[in-house]
Each structure stands twice: as C-alpha cells, then as structure tokens.
Structure 1
Amino acid sequence: MDNAIRVLSTLALRGAVHGLAGRHEVAGGGRIDADFAPTLALLDRLRGGEGADVVILTREGLSELAGAGCVVTDSCVDLARSYVGVAVRAGAAHPDIATEAALRAALLGARSVAYSRIGASGILFAQLIEQLGIAAEINARAVIIPSGFTAERLVGGEADLAVQQISELKQVSGVEVIGPIPHELQTPAVFSAGRMAASQKADQADRLLHYLASPEVAPVLRGCGLKP
C-alpha cells in the first residue's frame, strides 16, 4: 500500500483510469489506488481533509483547489473533454435527440428519465429542462440519484432514458448510448488532473500526470467516450 499512488477521480474518468492503471504499473510507474465520485462530492471530501496524491476533477474544481494552494498549479493538466449524452436499455428503440425539438419530444415521451443530482451532467440537465420549459413535467416522474451511474436505472427498468456524461453511460452493461445531447445545448466538461500539494510522492504523482496527458493514452480516452 505504501508504494501506491492515491488518486481521487471524478466518475467520468473511472473507465479510463481502470483501463490505464495496469499499463502504468507495468511501465514502472507504481500501483494506482483510486476512488471515484462526482467532483462536488470529492471537493467536499478534500475540504474535509481527505488526502490524495493526484486528483482528477472538472477544470473548475481543480482550479478552485489550486487557487487555495491545495493543488500545485504547475502540475495541472487538461486530460479530456466530455459531452453529456442519453442512453436507453439495450434493445430498446432509440428516440431522435438530434435537435432541440426532437430532444424535448423524446424527454416528454419517456415514462421516466434518470439523472444525477450533483454531477456535472445532472446540473447541466436540470438547467436544460428549465430552459426547455419542461422541468415540472420531467421532474414529476424523474429518477434523480444522489450520485453513481444513472444508466443502472435503465437495467432495473426504473427509467426509459438515462442522462449523464457519455463516458459514464458507457460504463454500464446492458445499455446503449443514443448519442450526445445536441452540442449547441451544452458546454462540454473539461476534466483536468493535478498533484496535491501535501503529497509525499511528488515524483510518482508527476510521472502519473505526465502519463495521463501523453498521446499514448488518447485511444483509451476515446474508447471510453471522452475526447482527449
């Protein structure tokens, strides 16, 4: 355990971190001990004194920690851009979500929509349905989870549509990603990483950060639904 690099990461990068951990260790970079949660939850834990060597958060969240001196500013790197998408249970019909009007109709036509309360995608979606004028109708029958993967509610039959970062939707078996919410209706989240100032493993942490931002990692990020 002493040789492990402690990583606290947003859920959106869970698939990528799991996929890259073995490669990093084989390359001599050390074992990764990672824990995953939404950025807002991680910020609360870090403010409460939880320790880590490397954190992967939204760019805004990482900038907040860097501004407070908790993260070394010079270590910060942008890793990936992520879009919010919509998924259905495997085998279910794929409604049209290509335009604002089509998305609005698809959401209103669903028996229930699952989205998260505190994740970046959930915050965006809550604002979006307000903007579309359908918040009351959607929330009256929505499945709103505190954290975790919204697509799990598709598998259990609790919802017809799940909304979350595409990289998070892709981590649930038994579902199919329809595609992203129209790009003009969303601002992509940028996920960034940095070294905690209190880390006692600066060299190992910096090596991991360099690896995560390297070109060889890009195909893994793309495969997880992220844009390097």
Structure 2
Amino acid sequence: MRFTSTLTRRVIGGLLLALLTAQAALAADIRVVTSGAFTEAYKKLVPLFEAATGHRVISSYGASIGNAPDSIPSRFARGESFDMVILSEGGLEALMKDGKLVPGSRVDIVRSQIGAAVRKGTPKPDISTVAALKQTLLNASSVAYSASASGTYLSTELFAKLGVQERLAQTGKKILSERVGAVVARGDAELGFQQVSELIYFKELDFIGTLPDEVQQTIFFSAGLVQGAQQPELARQLLRFLTSPAVAETVRATGLDPVAQGTAGAAK
C-alpha cells in the first residue's frame, strides 16, 4: 500500500512537471504599445494576465498621435514590431487607414473624458461652467495640455470656440513625451488639462474636475491587431481579458468608463 501510494505520488508529480514544462514551452511574448489614458489600468491588469497564462507582455508607451519620438505613429514609422496597439479612436483609425492594422479588428475598450488639475496647495479655479472655464483660461499664467488627443482637441477646437485662442498662444504649453500632471506637479505650469485617468494618480496635484458637458470631448480608447503580428491569437486572448466584466471595476477605479462589449466591436 505504501509502495502504491509512493508510486502514485511520483506519477502525479511527473504529470504535473510535464504539464508545467509544456506550459513553459508554450508561453510566449506578446508585444503591445498603449497610449497614456489607458496606462494606469493596463499596468494593473497585465500582471494578472501574465500570472494566469504564463505569457509575457512586452509593453511600450506613447502618445496616440503626433510626431514625438516615442509617439505611437513614430514607433510604427520606424518599423517597431507589435502584436496589438491601444490608443485613441482617431489615432487607431489613422493607423488602420495606413494599412498598419488588421481591417475590422478595432475593439473599443474604454471611454475617457478630459479633466484639469493644479499643484496641491494652490488655488483651485472654477471650470464647472463654460463661462467659468473661459475665465479660468484667461486668468491662468500658464496652461499645459497634451500633444496627443485631448490636447489636440483643446488647441484646435475648444480654445477657439471659447474665444481664448489669442491668450493661450502666449500661455499655452503643449507637452511632448511626458504627462501633463508631471509638468504641473513640479510647478512648470499653473493649470493642466489631460484625460482624467492621466491626472488623478499624481499625489502632488489637486484634481479640480472635468470639462463642462457642453464642451467635453468623450474619447474612445480602442485596440487593434497589427498587420503581420507574431502572436495574433494571444493578442486576442489578452484583449478579451482587458474587456472582460471581471476587470471592469479595476478599470473604473483608474478614471475610465469600460465599454460594454455587447455594443462594441470584437477582435477578429
């Protein structure tokens, strides 16, 4: 009986070792590049996916649009290799149009809104109404905004709509390859605007709210599969995890609104 028990343990142990070896052999690297708004949620979720699957996600980061050296369009222009990309809907559609992504592979992951913050301990200006936002922009000595999707909206549409474009030509600062929050936190700008999810994690900042509904821009951040991806099936697996109901609360905690996949696209 003791012999049988010992043999059984050895057989089970051998099978487990074989399974673990097989899993290690099947484990692979998934290369992903993501833009700033989804970064905090992404950094929380990817380690969970890696632990559950044994796969490794190799991550890169950059702005959705623009020509900064680390922006996603610049990375593609240099020929950097990825399996999946996560960025603003406009940036994704531009890559899709350029033939960089698999047609029909877009999946909307989250919605994001634009907010504002000031350095902790400094006066909190009012942006709760359109009139208050306009006056705050006119009064601010320096206003930082992103070189990516949110900043493009502010600088090319909203400032002109509010009639503050001439003032912001003097006080506005477009921030490249860095989060707006970092600039405001060290005192290089009085007021900063960016996606809420990119501002709320700076302990050195006071978040003062989102843009008024009348002038808010809600942006989808979406994923797409890259043409010629080395691991397309594993990228789909990661994407299903990132959009699953099980992770929705984690995503919401980072200042984003998960998109219900019943009303969004599915990776193909």
| Common fold by TM > 0.5 | yes
Among the aligned pairs, what percent are the same residue?
Answer: 38
Matched residues in 1 for 2:54 and 2:227: separation? 20
SS in structure 1 opposite 2:171? coil
Alignment of 1:186-197 (within 5 A): 186-197=216-227
Deviates more, 1:178-187 or 1:77-86: 178-187
Bigger radius of gyration among the two = 2
Alignment of 1:159-178 (within 5 A): 159-178=189-208
For residues 112 and 65 of structure 1, do their structure 2 counterparts lie closer, same or farther at Cα, with a shift above 3 Å needed?
Answer: closer
Deviates more, 1:186-195 or 1:168-177: 168-177
For residues 125 and 90 of structure 1, do their structure 2 counterparts lie closer, same or farther at Cα, with a shift above 3 Å needed?
Answer: same
Over the residues paired in the alignment, what is the CA RMSD in angstroms? 1.7
Whether the aligned pair in 2 keeps the contact of 1:119 and 1:147 (CA below 8 Å) is no
1:7 maps to 32
SS in structure 1 opposite 2:28? coil
SS in structure 1 opposite 2:193? strand
Whether the aligned pair in 2 keeps the contact of 1:143 and 1:158 (CA below 8 Å) is no
More RCO (CA 8 Å, sep 6+): 1
So what's the TM-score if we normalise by structure 2?
Answer: 0.79
Deviations 1:91-149 (CA, angstroms, capped at 9, x unpaired): 33322111110001111222211112x31111111121111111121231233222321
For residues 29 and 57 of structure 1, do their structure 2 counterparts lie closer, same or farther at Cα, with a shift above 3 Å needed?
Answer: farther
Deviates more, 1:159-168 or 1:133-142: 133-142
SS in structure 1 opposite 2:188? coil
Whether the aligned pair in 2 keeps the contact of 1:15 and 1:167 (CA below 8 Å) is yes
1:122 maps to 151
Instruction: Count residues with an aligned counterpart.
Output: 226
So what's the TM-score if we normalise by structure 1?
Answer: 0.92
1:39 maps to 64
1:149 to 167, 173, 179: 179
Matched residues in 1 for 2:137 and 2:94: separation? 34
Whether the aligned pair in 2 keeps the contact of 1:87 and 1:179 (CA below 8 Å) is yes
User: 1:198 and 2:228 equivalent?
Assistant: yes
Alignment of 1:8-87 (within 5 A): 8-28=33-53, 30-40=55-65, 41-87=71-117
Deviates more, 1:27-36 or 1:176-185: 27-36
Task: Give the AA of the match of 2:45.
Answer: L
SS in structure 1 opposite 2:202? coil
The unaligned stretches of length 5 or more in structure 1 are none
Deviations 1:56-106 (CA, angstroms, capped at 9, x unpaired): 011222233334443223432110011111001123332211111000111
Whether the aligned pair in 2 keeps the contact of 1:149 and 1:172 (CA below 8 Å) is no
2:162 maps to 132
SS in structure 1 opposite 2:108? strand
The unaligned stretches of length 5 or more in structure 2 are 1-26, 66-70, 259-268
User: 1:211 and 2:241 equivalent?
Assistant: yes
Task: Give the AA of the match of 1:36.
Answer: Y
